Amino acid sequence: MSIGEKLTQKYKSKLGKLFVGNSLELLTNDKKLSKLKGKVNLIVTSPPFPLNNKKQYGNEKGDEYKDWFIKLAPIFSDLLTDDGSLVIEIGNAWEPERPVQSLLHLECLLGMVKHPEANLRLIQEFICYNPSKLPSPAQWVTVNRLRTVDSYTHVWWIAKNDFPKADNSKVLRPYSDSMKQLLKRQSYNSGKRPSEHQISEKGFLKDNGGSISHNFFEMEALEEKREVRLPHSVLSFSNTNSNGYFLKTCRDKGITPHPARMSGGLVNFFIQFLTDEDDLVLDPFSGSNTTGYCAEKLNRKWISFEIKEDYIKQAIIRFSDPELKSPLK
């Protein structure tokens, strides 16, 4: 897309809009979008990963990727409200033709949070573990068998100040069976622990509706017989995803879904954790627009961008879900 090309709205729903085109050029140069500066409560996205091989969804490599990624910092910072958040999911990178993990993703993070024009900082890192990921890097895992499967991605929570809007009471995990029994029993062994922590007599007797979430997302059980205790918004999306309307419709139509879709469970979690209803959520690399879909269901306003028409068609399928009850216009 050339600078100055007309801003094109592909579709809109009750709460949001999807634009087609290069989001970075549009957000930097389009006068209409300049109104978004300082208005976005949450940017949540999974940008193209720094892979060694070019993928159909588009991705730079090596130093080109790092330069591209770091340029995002001031653009995103300008969009965010003072208490807004930026959430980025990114995979690991490997050195070309070597069984050596690259530092590229870490250099990208450092470049973003140290950008002199952005004033960003890393609030917390999350890990998203997915044992269903195909073995990668294939050359060093399945062919030469020198490395183990790379089965997780990083999720970085970044903000403009140390205290962005957040409320972990909105994303509680279900209590464990032992905690449920403790609450019913209303007693436990208090006192000093070997770790020198002092456990009070009544500190764990209040039922808060669930336990505080961890920064480790186990999208499938590590052990077959062990219950996965994820927040309801994460677990419910994960449990229905494979047989959900979107993937089922793609299969019926012979469509290959976007190969790097961000987990809807993750998106749900951060929308609920970091925003309130009617807040504005933005995804600059939306693919099949999981972010917009989740925001719509959670009653948040949203804006998404996608450069490839094929993925926009998939986004239209996603928003055709009868459960959404928000027809496109």
191 and 48 fall within a common domain: no
Residues 246, 171, 86, 112, Cα dihedral to 10°: -110
188 and 287 fall within a common domain: no
According to DSSP, residue 71 is labeled T
66 and 79 fall within a common domain: yes
Assess if residue 72 is contained within a domain: yes
| CB neighbour list of residue 277: distance below 8 Å, 6 or more residues apart | 298, 299, 300
Tell me what pLDDT residue 217 has: 86
Out of 185, 209, 233, pick the residue that ends a domain. Answer: 209
Assess if residue 58 is contained within a domain: yes
Tell me what pLDDT residue 5 has: 53
Confidence of residue 177 (pLDDT cuts 50, 70, 90): confident
113 and 188 fall within a common domain: no
Average pLDDT of the chain to the nearest whole number: 86
Residue 52 has pLDDT above 50, yes or no: no
32 and 135 fall within a common domain: yes
102 and 204 fall within a common domain: no
Tell me what pLDDT residue 224 has: 65
Confidence of residue 236 (pLDDT cuts 50, 70, 90): low
What is the rounded CA–CA span in Å between residue 308 and residue 294?
A: 20
Assess if residue 54 is contained within a domain: yes
Give the CA count within 13 Å in the CB-facing half-sphere of 299.
Answer: 3
141 and 182 fall within a common domain: no
pLDDT digits (tens, 9 = 90+) for 59-115: 455 788 899 999 999 999 999 999 999 999 998 888 889 999 999 999 999 999 999
User: CA 60, 97, 62 angle in degrees (round to 5)?
Assistant: 25
Is the distance from CB of 21 to CB of 30 less than 8 angstroms? no
Number of folded domains in the chain? 2
Residue (of 30, 70, 48, 67) closest to 311 by Cα position: 48
**Which residue(s) pair with 192 in the sheet?**
198
Residue 122 has pLDDT above 50, yes or no: yes
Residue whose entry in the numeric block shows the structure tokens 């032992």: 178
CB burial of 90-122 (b: ≥16 within 10 Å; e: otherwise) equals: bbbbbeeeeeebbebbebbbebbbebeebebee
What is the rounded CA–CA span in Å between residue 94 and residue 102?
A: 4
At 112, which CATH number? 3.40.50.150
Assess if residue 25 is contained within a domain: yes
133 and 95 fall within a common domain: yes
203 and 272 fall within a common domain: no
- The 3-state DSSP class for residue 305 equals strand
Confidence of residue 54 (pLDDT cuts 50, 70, 90): very low
Assess if residue 329 is contained within a domain: no
Assess if residue 1 is contained within a domain: no
Tell me what pLDDT residue 27 has: 93
**Which residue(s) pair with 199 in the sheet?**
191
Tell me what pLDDT residue 59 has: 44
187 and 128 fall within a common domain: no
Query: DSSP per residue over 95-156, as a string?
Result: -TTSSSB-SHHHHHHHHHHT-TTT--EEEEEEEEE-TTSPPSSHIIIIIS--S----EEEEE
Reading the block at residue 121, the tokens are 């900082």
| Integer angstrom CA distances of residue 104 from 161, 164, 184, 199, 309 | 25, 27, 50, 43, 29
Q: What is the pTM of this model?
A: 0.88
Confidence of residue 1 (pLDDT cuts 50, 70, 90): very low
Range of the domain at 183: 175-209
According to DSSP, residue 214 is labeled P
